[in-house]
């Protein structure tokens, strides 16, 4: 339909239409522009893919060696408000920054060699990174291009360094998980006896907690208050290991990454679940990461990869 409409308009402009009420316009620049749109449009479709509500747009493809330096396919990713993608791998103590065209616009060297446990931009678009031993937070200040080292002494420290919402809220008042060091079940090891898995809605300041089999709306007051029944959403697939990405309170939908190589879109009103497998057709052992930014409208990640190339993509939700 789109292409047919353009062809009809093209015929009118080139005086091939029979409509006497439309003046004959011979503008070579407009004609050529329409021809370009007609023939380029199918190419743009090839870069899109849809599964249920997920619509994936490929951004750019990069050389794997340039980013992963020949090592294992494990990384952390974060995206700022201007959609600049930051990526760090376990293979080198560097963070690389790419715009959505794939041009490297910045890089920084970390005073740490190893895998990062967490990476996220704070409310001022400074990049926050936590070492895997849970002892330090590295803050890369974009304005000065300097790295500040912040002690990490308790699980609340990560959140309070991200934004003023978490600093205002008394996170320690939230009932949370007790981690028995002798029995870690399926979540990753931590040196602390308790942990959180929180997500903040930047529009209204509401905090949510992902737990085993449910999502809990914590609230946006000073301290945690008693729950209403509607503040709990239950699911068989949720755990405190899942990474929260997007939550729509009005539609009662959420997008999360289960850290087992699958993106989930779950509708708690209808009970429908849609998945996007993130490593289909790959036998290589990988650890992927997906993220959103402060606008919380899209999800970024690596969609396809092989031994030579990696493709960065963005997912939008259409429902």
Check whether residue 86 and residue 228 sit in a common domain.
Answer: yes
- DSSP string for residues in 280-310: TT--S-EE---B--TT-S-EEEEEEE-SSEE
Check whether residue 184 and residue 85 sit in a common domain.
Answer: yes
Number of CB atoms found within 10 A of residue 318's CB: 8
Check whether residue 16 and residue 136 sit in a common domain.
Answer: no
Check whether residue 61 and residue 185 sit in a common domain.
Answer: yes
22 has pLDDT over 80: no
Could you give the 3-state DSSP secondary structure of residue 46?
Answer: helix
Question: For position 125, which CATH number holds?
Answer: 2.130.10
The length of the chain is: 319
- Predicted confidence at residue 182, as pLDDT, reads 75
Q: What percent of the chain has pLDDT over 90?
A: 66
- Per-residue pLDDT of 148-182, as tens digits, reads 999 999 999 999 999 999 999 999 999 988 887 77
Between helix 28-46 and helix 2-13 the angle, nearest 10°, is 170
- Predicted confidence at residue 5, as pLDDT, reads 46
- How many CA atoms are closer than 13 Å to the CA of 141, on its beta-carbon side? 7
Average pLDDT over residues 252-280: 91
Check whether residue 296 and residue 266 sit in a common domain.
Answer: yes
Average pLDDT over residues 214-241: 90
Task: State the total domains in the chain.
Answer: 2
Confidence of residue 23 (pLDDT cuts 50, 70, 90): very low
Check whether residue 188 and residue 284 sit in a common domain.
Answer: yes
Containing structural domain, residue 258 = 47-317
Question: Do residues 258 and 237 lie in contact, with contact meaning Cβ atoms separated by under 8 Å?
Answer: yes
**DSSP type of residue 19:** -
Is 160 exposed, middle or buried, given 0-12, 13-18 or 19+ CB atoms closer than 10 A?
middle
Closest to 247 in 3D by CA, of 264, 228, 229? 264
Check whether residue 117 and residue 229 sit in a common domain.
Answer: yes
Average pLDDT over residues 274-303: 90
Question: Do residues 95 and 84 lie in contact, with contact meaning Cβ atoms separated by under 8 Å?
Answer: no
Average pLDDT over residues 283-288: 83
Check whether residue 255 and residue 284 sit in a common domain.
Answer: yes
184 has pLDDT over 80: no
Check whether residue 148 and residue 31 sit in a common domain.
Answer: no
29 has pLDDT over 50: no
* Cα 226 to Cα 266: distance, rounded to the nearest angstrom: 25
Higher confidence at residue 314 or residue 36?
Answer: 314
* Cα 300 to Cα 58: distance, rounded to the nearest angstrom: 10
Check whether residue 109 and residue 169 sit in a common domain.
Answer: yes
Contacts of 145 (CB under 8 A, 6+ apart): 106, 108
Closest to 157 in 3D by CA, of 146, 165, 166? 166
280 has pLDDT over 60: yes
200-228 burial: b if 16+ Cβ within 10 Å, else e: bbeeebbbbbbbeeebbbbbeeeebeeee
Check whether residue 286 and residue 214 sit in a common domain.
Answer: yes
Confidence of residue 111 (pLDDT cuts 50, 70, 90): very high
What are the contacts of 150-158 at 24+ separation with CB within 8 A? 154/192, 155/190, 155/192, 155/194, 155/195, 155/196, 156/196, 158/118, 158/128, 158/130
Q: What percent of the chain has pLDDT over 70?
A: 83
- Per-residue pLDDT of 64-83, as tens digits, reads 998 998 888 899 999 999 99
* Cα 96 to Cα 267: distance, rounded to the nearest angstrom: 35
Check whether residue 140 and residue 225 sit in a common domain.
Answer: yes
């Amino acid at each position: 339909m789109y292409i047919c409409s353009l062809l009809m308009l093209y015929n009118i402009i080139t005086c091939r239409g029979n409509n006497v009420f439309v003046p004959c316009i011979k503008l070579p620049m407009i004609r050529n522009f329409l021809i370009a749109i007609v023939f380029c449009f199918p190419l743009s479709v090839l870069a899109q893919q849809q599964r249920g509500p997920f619509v994936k747009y490929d951004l750019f493809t990069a050389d794997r060696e340039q980013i992963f330096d020949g090592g294992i396919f494990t990384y952390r990713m974060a995206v700022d408000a201007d959609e600049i993608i930051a990526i760090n791998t376990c293979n080198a103590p560097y963070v690389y920054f790419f715009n959505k065209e794939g041009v490297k616009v910045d890089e920084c060297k970390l005073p740490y060699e190893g895998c990062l446990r967490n990476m996220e931009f704070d409310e001022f678009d400074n990049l926050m990174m936590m070492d895997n031993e849970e002892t330090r937070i590295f803050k890369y200040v974009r304005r000065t291009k300097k790295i500040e080292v912040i002690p990490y002494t308790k699980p609340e420290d990560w959140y309070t360094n991200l934004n003023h919402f978490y600093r205002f809220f008394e996170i320690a008042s939230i009932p949370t998980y007790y981690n028995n060091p002798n029995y870690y079940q399926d979540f990753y090891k931590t040196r602390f006896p308790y942990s959180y898995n929180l997500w903040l809605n930047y529009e209204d300041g509401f905090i949510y907690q992902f737990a085993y089999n449910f999502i809990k709306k914590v609230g946006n007051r000073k301290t945690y208050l008693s729950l209403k029944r509607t503040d709990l959403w239950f699911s068989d697939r949720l755990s405190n290991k899942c990474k929260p990405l997007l939550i729509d309170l009005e539609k009662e939908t959420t997008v999360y990454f289960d850290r087992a190589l699958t993106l989930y879109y779950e509708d708690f009103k209808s009970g429908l679940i849609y998945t996007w497998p993130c490593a289909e057709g790959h036998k290589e052992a990988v650890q992927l990461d997906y993220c959103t930014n402060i606008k919380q409208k899209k999800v970024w990640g690596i969609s396809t990869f092989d031994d030579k190339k990696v493709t960065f993509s963005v997912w939008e939700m259409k429902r």
